Amino acid sequence: MELNTKIKGFVIRHATEQDIPQILWFIKELAEYEKMSGDVITTEARLKESLFGRREYAEVIIGYYHNKPVGFAIFFHNFSSFVGKPGLYLEDLYVIPEERGKGFGKCLLTYLAKLAIKRDCGRFEWTVLDWNEPSIKFYQSLGAKLMKEWIINRVTGEDLVRLAAQFS
């Protein structure tokens, strides 16, 4: 499915298996921007299984400007017990540096907001690194509220294995 946007020459479409190399490239570019390149361990095979396998854990949209991929977003559903509805969670949003400031990021976010409404989601959420002032200002200009009182918790690697082993 392809969606034309208000920006002439910019379209958004849902990714397919054939887009896996492009998705991995975007992930690595985002990691470089976020100073987290060393954290990327995923592979094309892992993305294929997670995005297009028996159980699809996330979805991807890609933005094209004159048929050139210029941005992407990875998202999935979560659930709000307080609202009693699913939510849409944006894991990654990235627009290549030379194409920033043209409205492509806003188009990707607007598309996801419309998708959240279409899917009867009660929330649309994402995180942003606290040092990323340009993104924070951009998100706030769209009406996003920083949830400063919430702190993300994460357990990975050996810590995850140890935690899981505590339940017998």
Q: Which residues are catalytic?
A: 139
The backbone torsions φ and ψ at residue 60, rounded to the nearest 5 degrees and listed phi first, read -135, 135
Gyration radius of the chain's alpha carbons: 17
d(CA 37, CA 15): 23
